[in-house]
A = this chain, B = another copy of it.
């Protein structure tokens, strides 16, 4: 259970912001990178961390690479974390 990669991936604000953006819709690496003031290699590194944590999926289409949020993995990771730390789940917003 390489769950540790997930926690480490979530520890960085830039990566959390990337995930939040991907929550809206899949985006290419360039699209994502343009939303930050960081150099491309830096962003590429963040993508790699997210890929290794299996939090995003990369799909090559021609010359561009589209990143897609892996909702299931993210959800399960957070649930596991909450469970391990004894945080009770919220009531479903009525």
Write the chain B residue with the least CB distance to A9.
B11
B23 engages A85 (CB within 8 Å): yes
B8 engages A11 (CB within 8 Å): yes
| Bound complex: CA A82 to CA B16 (Å) | 11
What does DSSP make chain A's interface, helix, strand, loop or mixed?
helix
Chain B neighbourhood of A38, CB < 8 A:
none
A16 engages B85 (CB within 8 Å): yes
Q: Which of A1-44 contact B (CB under 8 A)?
A: 4, 7-8, 10-11, 13, 16, 19-20, 23
12 contacts between A and B (CB under 8 A): A7-B10, A10-B10, A16-B84, A20-B86, A71-B87, A74-B87, A78-B81, A78-B82, A78-B87, A88-B92, A90-B90, A92-B92
